[in-house]
């Protein structure tokens, strides 16, 4: 057995010794205050680790969205006129608050979503803090432009805020995806109304508790409730100037439809079925790079596969398939599944029972289509208090790219594996999908990796790496994976509009009339 000292499992939020306090019920965060939903309705919020309730959260309706919009509009002018220096200071203070409470937020996020706490400590929460810092810094470097059209006529270009925006967050990275959306909106001088995902309404409210005294009242508002009522009321409102959404395709279409009806812009991120391509030369040496490539395939299990860019299609050059997959399967076999609050846990439960059933159903569909189950392929029963949690074993299916398990996003720890004979076929398979969010290319040949990277129809091609999400690298979809980019300063273009002042300093009339 390893002699490394084992870190203790974090106490369950709300229990003695936990860094996370839990109130019995949570209201909406509107205008810097906690506001009860108008109808007084709440819903139980469950942890997927055990299926038990964490707390109750507001079950809001359209009237609550109106209250949040009232608060946002009341704050709009002052925040929009705040200098970049002032806005930057607020965003940096938000980042500080996240970092000072890293463990608390990481444990809350882990317990609500089911993701392993070692991921939330090392990735989700630090990345969320860094996102605020990134946008705090880039707005300090923003400049308008001046064009001298002739010696007396000048075009000034200013960036102005849109006003009040609506932002709808997915369940897979409740805090980080919120940071991806909130940071640029606030940086651009906008006020926002945020609708968290129904399965994960709570960790963002722990974040709100931290920043309630940092962010001016009404600049950030959070309303929980069902998408069909609360989300719809927000996305279709005449009182928002832009809507941003991450989620599935039909709601993405709806969002874009509402935006069209209201003549406002939208940005959408709608999922993927990302290819992760391994050329034979990864096995040219038995070294750290090969080890990195093996891990690169197994990253499909990161966040239990609930990632829009999950590398869910592994394409392996046929000549190395047996040897490479032997290493991969050994690595998958070693994945430790368990209580997400145990720092040694590598994979936790799916976010909800419905997601667990979906994963199970897709593996059945794969079997039915003739895919071979290389490993996993069933639920995990971890027993004890985890017996009712939503655990599924990390799974690999071997098949062909025309199978449904290669075409539809499963959103679970399931990789669909196939082989290719040459670069041309690898590219053909990689692009044979509706989606184009992410991709991975692994090769020791830089020229080939570059060619592939440019030819793959996806918004991001990780090259000799995967699942890195640094602020400063643009993220977004090609094809059916959505419209718009995040995590880069170009996002300020999505959250500001250009004001042109066209000024004549010439006293003479035109002479037409």
Partner 1 sequence: MAARVTATSQAVEAVHRLVAKHGPVVFHQSGGCCDGSSPICLPEGEMPPGPNDVLLGDVAGASFYVDSEQYARWRSPSFLIDLSPGPAEGFSLSLPDAHFVTRTPTAQA
| DSSP tag of 10 | P
111 or 435: whose CB is closer to partner 1?
435
Residue showing tokens 């995040």: 486
Active site annotation includes 27: no
Of 27, 55, 56, 308, catalytic: 308
Beta bridge partners of 314: 276, 417
Of 269, 306, 317, 486, catalytic: 269
- Positions touching partner 1 (CB under 8 A) are 43, 170-172, 197-199, 226-228, 231-232, 235, 246-254, 257, 269-272, 306, 308, 352-354, 357-358, 361-362, 364-365, 367-369, 402-404, 407-409, 411, 433-435, 480-481
Q: What is the largest CA-CA distance in the chain?
A: 93
Distances from the Cα of 168 to the Cαs of 203, 247, 366, 418, in angstroms?
A: 15, 8, 32, 35
Answer whether 22's CB lies under 8 Å from 54's CB: yes
Q: How far is the CB of 6 from partner 1 (least distance, A)?
A: 33
Say what angle helices 203-211 and 174-187 make with each other, to 10 degrees.
40
223 or 449: whose CB is closer to partner 1?
223
| Token pair listed for 420 | 């290719």
Distances from the Cα of 420 to the Cαs of 190, 210, 401, 424, in angstroms?
A: 48, 50, 11, 9
6 or 253: whose CB is closer to partner 1?
253
Say what angle helices 84-100 and 174-187 make with each other, to 10 degrees.
160
Distance CA 265, CA 269 (A): 14
| Token pair listed for 252 | 């993405």
Q: How far is the CB of 63 from partner 1 (least distance, A)?
A: 18
Distance CA 255, CA 258 (A): 5
155 or 387: whose CB is closer to partner 1?
387
* Contacts of 182 by beta carbon, 8 Å cutoff, 6+ apart: 167, 192, 194, 220
Beta bridge partners of 379: 392
Distances from the Cα of 49 to the Cαs of 122, 173, 361, in angstroms?
A: 20, 16, 20
Q: Would you call 221 helix, strand, or coil by DSSP? A: strand
Beta bridge partners of 132: none
Residue showing tokens 């705040």: 82
Q: How far is the CB of 259 from partner 1 (least distance, A)?
A: 13
Q: How far is the CB of 228 from partner 1 (least distance, A)?
A: 5
246 or 443: whose CB is closer to partner 1?
246
172 or 237: whose CB is closer to partner 1?
172
172 or 419: whose CB is closer to partner 1?
172
Q: How far is the CB of 388 from partner 1 (least distance, A)?
A: 12
Ramachandran angles phi, psi of 419, nearest 5°: -120, 160
> Is residue 355 left, alpha or beta, with left meaning phi > 0 and alpha meaning psi from -120 to 50?
alpha
46 or 187: whose CB is closer to partner 1?
46
Active site annotation includes 269: yes
Q: How far is the CB of 263 from partner 1 (least distance, A)?
A: 18
Ramachandran angles phi, psi of 289, nearest 5°: -65, -40
Q: How far is the CB of 288 from partner 1 (least distance, A)?
A: 34
Q: Which residues form the catalytic set?
A: 269, 308
């Amino acid at each position: 057995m390893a002699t490394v000292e084992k870190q203790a499992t974090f106490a369950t939020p709300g229990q003695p010794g936990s860094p996370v306090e839990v109130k019995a019920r949570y209201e909406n965060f509107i205008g810097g205050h906690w506001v009860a939903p108008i109808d007084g309705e709440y819903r139980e919020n469950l942890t997927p680790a055990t299926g038990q309730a964490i707390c109750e959260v507001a079950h809001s309706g359209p009237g609550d969205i109106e209250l949040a919009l009232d608060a946002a509009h009341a704050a709009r002018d002052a925040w929009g006129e705040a200098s970049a220096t002032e806005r930057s200071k607020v965003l940096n203070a938000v980042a500080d608050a996240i970092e000072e409470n890293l463990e608390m937020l990481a444990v809350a996020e882990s317990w609500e979503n089911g993701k392993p706490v070692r991921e939330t400590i090392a990735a989700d929460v630090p990345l969320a803090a860094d996102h605020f810092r990134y946008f705090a810094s880039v707005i300090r470097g923003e400049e308008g432009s001046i064009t001298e059209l002739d010696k007396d006529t000048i075009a000034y270009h200013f960036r102005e805020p849109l006003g009040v925006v609506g932002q709808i967050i997915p369940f897979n990275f409740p805090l980080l995806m919120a940071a991806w959306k909130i940071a640029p909106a606030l940086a651009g001088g906008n006020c926002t109304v945020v609708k968290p995902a129904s399965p994960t309404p709570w960790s963002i409210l722990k974040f709100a508790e931290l920043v309630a005294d940092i962010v001016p009242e009404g600049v950030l508002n959070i309303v929980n409730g069902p998408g069909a009522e609360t989300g719809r009321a927000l996305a279709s409102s005449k009182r928002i100037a832009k809507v941003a959404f991450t989620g599935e395709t039909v709601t993405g279409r709806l969002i874009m439809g509402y935006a069209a009806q209201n003549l406002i812009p939208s940005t959408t991120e709608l999922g993927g079925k990302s290819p992760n391509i391994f050329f034979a030369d990864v096995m040219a040496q038995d070294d750290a790079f090969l080890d990195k490539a093996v891990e690169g395939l197994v990253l499909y299990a990161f966040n239990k596969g609930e990632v829009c860019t999950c590398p869910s299609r592994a394409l392996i050059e046929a000549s190395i398939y047996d040897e490479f997959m032997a290493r991969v399967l050994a690595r998958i076999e070693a994945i430790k599944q368990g209580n997400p609050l145990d720092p040694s846990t590598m994979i936790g439960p799916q976010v909800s029972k419905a997601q667990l059933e979906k994963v199970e159903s897709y593996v059945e569909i794969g079997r039915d289509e003739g895919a071979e189950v290389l490993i996993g392929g069933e639920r995990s029963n971890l027993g004890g208090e985890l017996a009712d949690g939503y655990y599924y074993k990390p799974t690999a299916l071997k098949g062909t790219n025309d199978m449904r398990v290669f075409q539809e996003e499963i959103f679970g720890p399931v990789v669909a594996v196939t082989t290719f004979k040459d670069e041309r076929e690898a590219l053909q398979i990689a692009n044979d999908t509706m989606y184009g969010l992410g991709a991975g290319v692994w090769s020791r040949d830089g020229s080939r990796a570059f060619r592939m990277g440019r030819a793959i129809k996806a918004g991001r091609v990780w090259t000799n790496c995967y699942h890195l999400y640094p602020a400063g690298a643009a993220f977004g979809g090609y094809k059916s994976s959505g419209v718009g980019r995040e995590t880069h300063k170009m996002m300020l273009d999505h959250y500001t509009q250009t004001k042109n002042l066209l000024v004549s300093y010439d006293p003479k009339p035109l002479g037409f009339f």
